[in-house]
Amino acid sequence: MRILLALGGNAMTSPDGKARPEDQIAAAEAAMEAVADLVAEGVDVVITHGNGPQVGNLLVKNEFAAAVVPPVPLDWCGAQTQGTLGDVLMNALDGALAARGIVRPTAALVTRTRVDAADPAFAKPSKPVGRYLSADEAATMIDHGETWEDRGERGWRRVVASPEPLEVLDAPAVIALVEAGFVVIANGGGGIPTIKRPDGALAGVEAVIDKDLGAALLARSIEVDRTRHRHRRRPRHPRVRHAGRARHRRGEPRGDARVRRGGSLRRRLDGSQGGRHLPLRRGVRPRRRHHRPQQHREGRLRTGRHDRPSQPDQPHRQPHRQHHRKEA
């Protein structure tokens, strides 16, 4: 069996969120104990990881040194974290395997992921990265060609493009290493964002690839049997799937749909009136229609519990609904 294990970037830090080298090493050693158990069972394991806190640390160094040396591009930051975390994970995994008497080679592969140079995300960067700076500090980074936005009282923050990953360029190398018996660490941080120029040459680009999308693409590319996420928060409503949204993904009109969320029933329309509801999921009950008093209208008389004065001396009884009747 071949599985892909995805480690979140925050899973490589201490419980209080610190990302010092000793914290990351300790977190890696704890995570690789479980990986070693899988390897001992004969499972072929490929590991991918996030790099948010690690790239954030590199960006801080860029900011402090911006007046002295040019900032390191974002794709270079991703490549650096792939090498650093790959080294930490390999050392931790080698130690865990040796403690179990298992001889299995490990390898960390610097992995590129191709994105479309015409992706709309490049025209309007919206992914916030790094920390908040003052206007004067952000101006220095803007002079180096970076995009920063004013976020109000908190200050300025850098925004970058987050294009959709299209291809893991180094997937054949991952497959070759796995078939040769290696435990492979690859595509860290979603992969190094890379574009193909008109002449066919490849070049890194300043962007951030969504880690989950990158992991899913890697899983398909190397044909894994199963994907596991470590330290990943469970969805709030795992049993709910929005019927209208699913139809929209398939290219069909969204139409009307009703789903249960947060214990209530919500109706979402696409702007049309009187549309037909899509079928509800099994086990979802429709909302009850509560009795509401209507306003008195000329020629109509409303009777019921809302019109009768309260009578505390009489036992409470559920009133029966009565139909409207015209006055004589």
- pLDDT for 280 equals 44
Is the model's pLDDT at 205 over the cut of 50? yes
- Residues across the chain: 328
Q: Which candidate, 9, 227, 5, 220, places its Cα nearest to that of 113?
A: 220
How many alpha carbons lie under 13 Å from residue 205 in its C-beta half-sphere? 25
Residues 6+ apart with CB under 8 A from 200: none
Q: How many CB atoms lie within 10 A of CB 82?
A: 26
SS3 assignment, position 49: strand
User: Distance (Å, rounded) from C-alpha 135 to C-alpha 157?
Assistant: 10
DSSP string, 126-148: -EEEEEEE-HHHHHHHHHTT--E
C-alpha distances in Å from residue 44, one per residue of 48, 71, 179, 220: 14, 39, 9, 15
Q: Which candidate, 212, 184, 232, places its Cα nearest to that of 11?
A: 232
> What predicted TM-score, i.e. pTM, was given to this entire model?
0.66
Dihedrals φ, ψ of 283, to 5°?
90, -5
Is the model's pLDDT at 235 over the cut of 50? no
Task: With beta carbons less than 8 A apart as the criterion, state whether 46 and 218 touch.
Answer: yes
User: Distance (Å, rounded) from C-alpha 266 to C-alpha 240?
Assistant: 12
- pLDDT for 175 equals 96
151 is written with which tokens? Answer: 């976020």
Please write the tens of the pLDDT for every residue from 92-142.
999 999 999 999 999 999 999 999 999 999 998 989 988 898 998 889 888
Q: Which candidate, 58, 94, 327, 71, places its Cα nearest to that of 189?
A: 58
Percent of residues, the chain, with pLDDT higher than 70? 69
